[in-house]
């Protein structure tokens, strides 16, 4: 049963990546998973329930990827630059941000994401950096991700890394 739930959540992520929030419907996700809609609603009775599960999975994946990248010992600007350049992640998070405007339960999940990112990043900032520095780097990363998605430059990761390096120099 957990396998089927996971398949449904992955299909929900795929819909958000490819088509955005407006296309996030139970019939579309049921069709992607090869299930009848009545079977999908057995696992996720409402669209909001499904959206919450998809959001939780996206946030957990994002935090796990950040944690793994940071534990590799790579330079922080390189780690964040690579993550910002992942347009599929940005598309999902933008769709979920749009959904959070209508589904207040998603706001808690976004708080968990923000807190998790800031905690992980703050631990790698220069000792002189304040707590607000983690928030600043997170906000800068989100802004860069949105801009890079909109512009679609092939050197987006390198450009983002360069911007982050400037920010880190100013923080240190």
Does the domain at 52-171 match CATH 1.25.60.10? Answer given as: no
Q: Residue holding tokens 């396998």?
A: 3
Q: Are 33 and 11 in contact (CB under 8 A)?
A: yes
pLDDT tops 90 at residue 58: yes
Taking the C-alpha atoms of residue 100 and residue 108, their distance in angstroms, rounded to an integer, is 9
Give the Cα separation of 114 and 159 in Å (integer): 23
pLDDT band for position 129 (50/70/90)? low
- pLDDT, position 131: 72
Per-domain boundaries in the chain: 52-171
Note the pLDDT of residue 25.
Answer: 94
Query: Which residues make Cβ contacts (< 8 Å) with residue 33, sequence separation at least 6?
Result: 4, 7, 8, 11, 40
pLDDT of residue 1: 62
């Amino acid at each position: 049963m957990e396998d089927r739930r996971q398949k449904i959540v992955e299909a929900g992520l795929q819909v958000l990546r490819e088509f955005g929030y407006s296309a996030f419907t139970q019939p579309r996700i049921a069709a992607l998973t090869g299930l009848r809609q009545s079977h999908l609603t057995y696992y996720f009775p409402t669209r909001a329930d499904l959206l919450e599960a998809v959001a939780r999975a996206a946030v957990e994946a994002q935090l796990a990827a950040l944690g793994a990248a940071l534990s590799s010992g790579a330079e922080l600007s390189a780690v964040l630059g690579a993550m910002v350049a992942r347009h599929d992640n940005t598309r999902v998070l933008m769709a979920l941000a749009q959904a959070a405007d209508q589904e207040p339960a998603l706001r808690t999940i976004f708080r968990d994401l923000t807190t998790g990112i800031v905690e992980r990043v703050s631990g790698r900032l220069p000792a002189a950096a304040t707590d607000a520095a983690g928030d600043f780097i997170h906000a800068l990363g989100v802004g860069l991700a949105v801009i890079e998605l909109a512009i679609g430059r092939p050197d987006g990761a390198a450009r983002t890394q360069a911007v982050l390096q400037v920010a880190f120099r100013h923080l240190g």
